[in-house]
């Protein structure tokens, strides 16, 4: 049976594939350490679990409105005003989706026509490219220089714009680099967007996971002009260790939000009812578990960076946030004498020889890197970094 052209061009998620392979090896009894997963290793906080249980006992287990229950949209509006100084009408300018990934997918479906271009800074999150293509759009990749901490410049953004450009993506803090855009750089990127009449897709899913004295700033908060052309994408997955609950949201112009809701009414129908009530508790309840998780991630980030300093075969830009380190393996590839041609081959060898699962940088638009996640216990990190160091030394000998 012939499949559609759009699905034939689709590349599967490398991060999910790596995690699945590592889990399969673990089931075979192998001592695999997974540094590939993009999710916190903490359980969802107790007060959020209790709210979900209470919702089930009250019978809140039926269909909801496609764009989410009003109580959750009001909690999202309060969060956006409190944390980001952004004001949205919860009835018309906010939609709740099946994860932030679902929000992005719906957004590209409603704003892109065939041939429309979207500027994607690289390194990029794995699904941006595929989602744009599935919507008939054309991803235009702009590489952020490592010496500029992978951040693209206004000149690069402007040079990439054509008459077909519809939008550009901003992910800060970034997956996979953990790098954050400071306010002054957002200001000048925003000026280009206004001058060139671009929509801005601001993926802010890691906004609270920051470990340095630098504030997250939503580009939508910088001016009325930027507010009017920005769609903020966020969710509860990373901040509240709720990846499996699948609750994301989008906030932006009412016409776009309405179209996203209409699309959901013919696809997912609605986000899971019980998860929506849990998300209210996450956004409106105590934030103490978040602070505890941030402190743990900061300690792990610092430990990883200290260990990496003693591995001369690789280098790494210090991440400001998220829970990833993006390791430059270019020197290692050269030193291997042709044993590894790219990040895929090196990642495969790491898994097979040292039982450490990482994600090849090719998934993020850079074959010179691998991504490791420090969203795992300190003990596991120590073991994994011992194995990485052993592997790197062997290749660099």
Q: How high is the pLDDT of residue 37? A: 80
Q: How high is the pLDDT of residue 394? A: 87
Using 50, 70 and 90 to split pLDDT, how confident is the model at 79? very high
> Fold identical between 5-43+288-396 and 62-284?
no
Distance CA 217, CA 275 (A): 27
Q: Is the pLDDT of residue 244 over 80?
A: yes
Residues 49, 278: contact at Cβ < 8 Å?
Answer: yes
Q: How high is the pLDDT of residue 44? A: 98
Residues 63, 270: contact at Cβ < 8 Å?
Answer: yes
Q: How high is the pLDDT of residue 41? A: 94
Distance CA 169, CA 190 (A): 12
Q: Is the pLDDT of residue 282 over 90?
A: yes
* Mean pLDDT within 264-269: 96
Cis before residue 25, ω within 30 degrees of 0?
no
- Find the DSSP H helices in the chain: 5-8, 14-27, 46-57, 70-84, 99-111, 126-134, 154-160, 183-195, 224-229, 254-265, 273-284, 288-308, 330-335, 343-354, 378-396
183-196 pLDDT, tens per residue? 999 999 999 999 99
Instruction: Please tell me the pTM assigned to this model.
Output: 0.96
| Backbone Cα Rg of the chain | 21
11-35 pLDDT, tens per residue? 777 777 777 888 889 899 999 999 9
CA atoms in the 13 A half-sphere facing the CB of 154: 13
**Who contacts 47 (Cβ-Cβ below 8 Å, separation ≥6)?**
281, 285, 286
* Mean pLDDT within 252-277: 98
Q: How high is the pLDDT of residue 253? A: 98
Q: Is the pLDDT of residue 285 over 80?
A: yes
Segments making up each domain of the chain, as ranges: 5-43+288-396, 62-284
* Token pair listed for 55: 């919702």
Please, what is the angle between helix 254-265 and helix 99-111, to 10°?
110
State the average pLDDT for the chain.
Answer: 95
Q: What is the DSSP string of 242-291?
A: -GGG--EEEE--HHHHHHHHHHHHTTT-SS-HHHHHHHHHHHHS--HHHH
- The yes or no reply on domain 62-284 and CATH 3.40.50.300 is no
pLDDT > 90 in the chain, percent: 89
Task: Classify 5-43+288-396 by CATH class.
Answer: alpha beta
Q: How high is the pLDDT of residue 397? A: 61
Name the residue with higher pLDDT: 206 or 338.
206
Residues 204, 172: contact at Cβ < 8 Å?
Answer: yes
133-184 pLDDT, tens per residue? 999 999 999 999 999 999 999 999 999 999 999 999 999 999 999 999 999 9
83-107 pLDDT, tens per residue? 999 999 999 999 999 999 999 999 9
* Token pair listed for 154: 């206004």
Phi, psi of 337 (to 5 degrees): 65, 30
When mean pLDDT is compared across 113-117, 229-233, 332-336, the lowest value belongs to 332-336
């Amino acid at each position: 049976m012939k499949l559609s052209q759009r699905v034939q061009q689709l590349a599967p998620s490398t991060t999910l594939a790596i995690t699945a392979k590592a889990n399969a090896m673990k089931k075979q009894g192998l001592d695999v350490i997974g540094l590939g997963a993009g999710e916190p290793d903490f359980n969802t906080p107790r007060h959020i679990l209790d709210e979900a249980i209470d919702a089930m006992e009250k019978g809140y287990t039926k269909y909801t409105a496609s764009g989410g229950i009003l109580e959750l949209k009001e909690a999202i509006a309060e969060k956006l005003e409190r944390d980001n100084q952004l004001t949205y009408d919860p009835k018309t300018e906010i939609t709740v989706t099946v994860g932030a990934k679902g929000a992005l997918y719906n957004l590209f479906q409603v704003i892109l026509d065939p041939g429309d271009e979207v500027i994607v800074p690289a390194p990029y999150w794995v699904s941006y490219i595929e989602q744009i293509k599935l919507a008939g759009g054309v991803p235009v990749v702009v590489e952020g220089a490592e010496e500029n901490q992978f951040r693209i410049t206004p000149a690069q953004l402007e040079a990439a714009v054509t008459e077909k450009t519809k939008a550009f993506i901003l992910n800060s803090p970034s997956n996979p680099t953990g790098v954050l855009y400071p306010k002054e750089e957002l200001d000048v990127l925003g000026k280009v967007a206004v001058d060139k009449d671009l929509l801005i897709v601001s993926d802010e899913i890691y906004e609270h996971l920051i470990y340095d004295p630098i504030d997250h700033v939503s580009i939508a908060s910088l001016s009325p002009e930027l507010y009017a052309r920005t769609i903020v994408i966020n969710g509860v997955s990373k901040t509240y260790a709720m990846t499996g609950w699948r609750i994301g949201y989008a906030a932006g112009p009412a016409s776009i939000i309405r179209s996203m809701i209409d699309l959901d009414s013919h696809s997912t129908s609605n986000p899971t009812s019980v998860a929506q009530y849990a998300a209210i508790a996450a956004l409106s309840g105590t934030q103490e578990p978040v602070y505890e998780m941030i402190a743990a991630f900061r300690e792990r980030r610092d430990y990883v960076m200290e260990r990496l300093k003693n591995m001369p075969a690789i280098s790494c830009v210090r991440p400001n946030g998220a829970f990833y380190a993006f390791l430059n393996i270019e020197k290692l590839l050269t030193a291997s004498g042709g044993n590894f041609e790219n990040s895929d081959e090196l990642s495969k060898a790491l898994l097979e020889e040292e039982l450490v699962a990482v994600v090849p940088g090719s998934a993020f638009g850079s074959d010179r890197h691998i991504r490791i996640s420090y969203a795992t216990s300190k003990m596991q990190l120590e073991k994994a970094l011992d194995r990485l160091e052993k592997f790197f030394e062997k290749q660099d000998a």
